[in-house]
Amino acid sequence: MRSVIAGLFIFLLTVSPLTGQELNCRVSVNAEQVQTSDRQIFEDMETALEQFLNNTQWTSDVFEPSERIGCNIIITLQNTPTLGYFSGTTQIQSARPVFNSNYESILLNFADRDWQFEYIESMPLNFNENIFTSNLTSLLGFYANIILGMDYDSFGELAGNPFFQKALNIANTAQTSNRPGWDALGSTRNRYWLIENMTNQQMQSLRTGFYRYHRLGLDTYMQSGDDARSTILTVLKDLQQIKQQYPNSIFVISFLDAKRVELINIYSEGELNTRRQAFEILANLDPANRAQYEQMLK
């Protein structure tokens, strides 16, 4: 196995034993900041959310157990202002396997800072993508479809369209709740702007690039590392053009958050000219992490 693949960051997932449909998602609830004597509710919450995500059939496709999409939802609760009401932040992560290797590539690593919901122990989690029933199930349904859309996009050009449309519908419906994160106001790094970027026709090259990066780049890496690096470089050039047009694009930021370590390892080998081009683009796209990208030239 090539040293660069061996050195790539491995996305480790603790797999839930639940019987699933399309997702194999692990939910973790960190409630250290919440002052309450009833700690059992947080274990119940983890189990209920995992069951909702893993047992719901999100698509009409048939997934074998080995094909389920690995993902993590890490919820950090910060306070509970009233009984049964919680707020905090959440990290949503997903990954997909790379052909001819034991490596999994991170597709999504997104921080949602506006996670607010109601939860009572053993409460049923009812969901309808066309009707707002609760903020919790809207949040979970939204990210389930984002995870599916990104996974499908990585295997087929724009194959994630149906799932991004569902996520957009969920977001539009949830706007009636006046909960944070669903509208254009405030942060440019919220759910509204994430799905806006993913369905914006002017940014479609990001999604076609997502396919080229994974299916035509990473999946061919073991056969020809240099060809894969060249293919991925064209994706980075497209990313640079989008960043120039949309400097605050959360899709670009999210892509780099997921791929930073992977890209550094990919371009730590290969032709120096290709590595220099990749470095210049990435240092321009992500100047705060320029020092990390300098490893590519050593």
> What pTM was computed for the model?
0.92
> What is the tens place of the pLDDT at every residue in 216-253?
999 999 999 999 999 999 999 999 999 999 999 999 99
Average pLDDT over residues 106-131: 95
Domain positions in the chain are 1-199, 200-298
CA distance 175 to 169: 10
What sign does the CA torsion over 209, 215, 218, 224 have?
negative
Q: State yes or no: pLDDT of 64 exceeds 80.
A: yes
Query: Where is pLDDT greater, at 8 or 69?
Result: 69
End-to-end CA distance of the chain: 21
Average pLDDT over residues 17-28: 78
Per-residue confidence (pLDDT) for residue 7, from 0 to 100: 40
CA distance 192 to 178: 12
Per-residue confidence (pLDDT) for residue 16, from 0 to 100: 39
Per-residue confidence (pLDDT) for residue 35, from 0 to 100: 86
Per-residue confidence (pLDDT) for residue 50, from 0 to 100: 97
Q: State yes or no: pLDDT of 295 exceeds 80.
A: yes
